[in-house]
Structure 1
Amino acid sequence: MKEKEGKLELIAAKSFTPYPELYKVIDFLNKTLKHKKLMFGLTKDPENGNMIISIYEI
């Protein structure tokens, strides 16, 4: 359910144990699935240091 055009809609988010090259996976997914109007984000949880992968619909 999109609110406005140009907005990102969060589809899912999942926390993972930190992995040094996880950003490469996110970069690969963004380049590969851009045409499907999907975008992936990677953030670090300040509380426990885990990495959070978020999936958005553009």
Structure 2
Amino acid sequence: MESKIEVLSTVKIQQSPDLYKIVDALNRTLKRENLMFGLALDKQDDKKAVFTIYRT
């Protein structure tokens, strides 16, 4: 079975220590809707984070 992940949206936001809590809550709440959320540090600016929404 092949799993395809589609990027729906990506946005750079100000880094905050609690951002992961929002991403975790979204992933737990919306996984039944085939949505997944990601958070990564921006490689060019360590004060920014990259928030991505995926459809699984």
Q: Secondary structure at the match of 1:23?
A: helix
What is the count of residue pairs matched by the alignment? 54
Match of residue 45 from structure 1: 42
Matches within 5 A, 1:1-58: 5-49=2-46, 50-58=48-56
| CA shift digits 1:1-55 (9 cap, x unpaired) | xxxx411100000110110010000000000000100000001111112101000
5+ residue gaps, structure 2: none
CA distance in 2: counterparts of 1:46 and 1:52, whole angstroms: 9
Query: Percent identity, aligned pairs only?
Result: 39
TM-score w.r.t. the length of structure 2 is 0.91
**Unaligned stretches of 5+ residues in structure 1:** none
Q: Over aligned residue pairs, what C-alpha RMSD do you find?
A: 0.8
Q: TM-score normalised to the size of structure 1?
A: 0.88
